[in-house]
Amino acid sequence: MPSFSQLPHAAQLDLLERLTRAALTERYGLDGAAVRMEVQQYEDNAVWRITPPGRGSFVARLSVHDGRPAHQQRSEMRWLESLAASRTVAVPEPVTTTGGHYVVPVDVPGHDEPSTLALLHWLPGTADPPYQQPGVAQEMGRATAHLHEHAATVPLTEFNRPVWDAETILLKGHALTDPGAQEQLGAEGTAALRKVAELITPALQEGDPNDRGRIHGDLHRENMIAMVGGRVGIIDFDDCGVGHPLLDIATVLSSVHRIAQKEEGAYEEFARAFLAGYAQVRPLPTDSGRLLEPYLLLRDVFVLNFVTSAAPVNADVASWGPRRIAGIAANIQTYLEGRPYPGTLASE
């Protein structure tokens, strides 16, 4: 029997679906054979929408590639549970097993990495809120601020998650430390990234530990949900960790800039409305106008780390990853030539 990594992408997903159906039956008291499973993505995790007959939907997330250890996933679930109870921002609420566990191990034949399954309630709505519609940008900002306000005011004991800072993302990140990643970046792209690291690390290290807290870590627009009544919810906390809230803010802005930049003034209008909505809930981080640009760069390095590690082993990422790498490398080069980094607000 071939190893899991040698199976074609479709065969991997088929095997993971069968294992997930079995776990739903054995661990969650659901009829795994009867549920409808709709694939949402398969990158580091395989994610399905699960709909049992006559019941509401769930999200099943099976971590198989470079997944977080089970104790870190339990920290994620505790934060989600606390956020859901606060009712300040809509998030997917975790579902425990019949034995009261947040995360369960799954044995994947031929796979040499530990695999774990988590189940959450489906958050109803539409991903990627229509950012140009009146009030949506402000709601996206308010949802982000509520997330950070909860992190700043509600303590969670033993929150064990990755630290997202200049050292882990930039200086020790995959893009700058892995030969395979550097091959994908090319000699010029790698040299430019090293130069950027020298330039922006001092700004990213500013402030004291009180400036850092729990953050989403991957808060792009497709991880935000437009809900009935105009609210905006937040999903996919798989990369949550400890970092500066400006990384979340930069991630939202960068993701909208990528689709809004072709229409003159659209991004700037969104960004200012988003930041105004954030400020209605809690003050913007200190020196946010000055520090936004280095955090926009840090966000793109976060993307580079993911793409350069996933593209060699994941066909879906390989289909779009090289274009994304080339685009970020080009943006870094123009930044080194003296132009503002994409997403920077000139008057802020």
Of the candidates 61, 42, 72, which has an alpha carbon nearest to the alpha carbon of residue 117? 61
Q: 187 falls in which pLDDT band (50, 70, 90)?
A: very high
Local structure of 170: helix, strand or coil: helix
pLDDT at 1: 64
DSSP state of 49: E
Exposed e or buried b per residue across 309-331, where buried means at least 16 C-beta atoms within 10 angstroms of its C-beta: bbbeebeebeeebeebbeebbeb
Do strands 103-106 and 115-121 pair parallel, antiparallel, or not at all (unpaired)?
antiparallel
pLDDT tens profile 225-274: 999 999 999 999 999 999 999 999 999 999 999 999 989 999 999 999 99
89: CB partners within 8 A, 6+ apart: 83, 143, 146, 147, 150, 233, 234
**CA distance linking residue 155 with residue 143, whole number of Å:** 19
Q: Given strand 163-164, what is the order of strands in its sheet?
A: 163-164, 241-243, 213-215
pTM above 0.85, yes or no: yes
pLDDT at 50: 98
pLDDT tens profile 313-338: 888 889 999 999 999 999 999 999 99
pLDDT at 348: 46
Strand partners, 105: 116
CA distances from 185 to 122, 150, 311 (A): 37, 38, 12
The identity of residue 331, as a single letter, is N
Domains of the chain, first to last: 4-123 (3.30.200.20), 127-336 (3.90.1200.10)
Counts of helices then strands in the chain (DSSP H, E): 9, 12
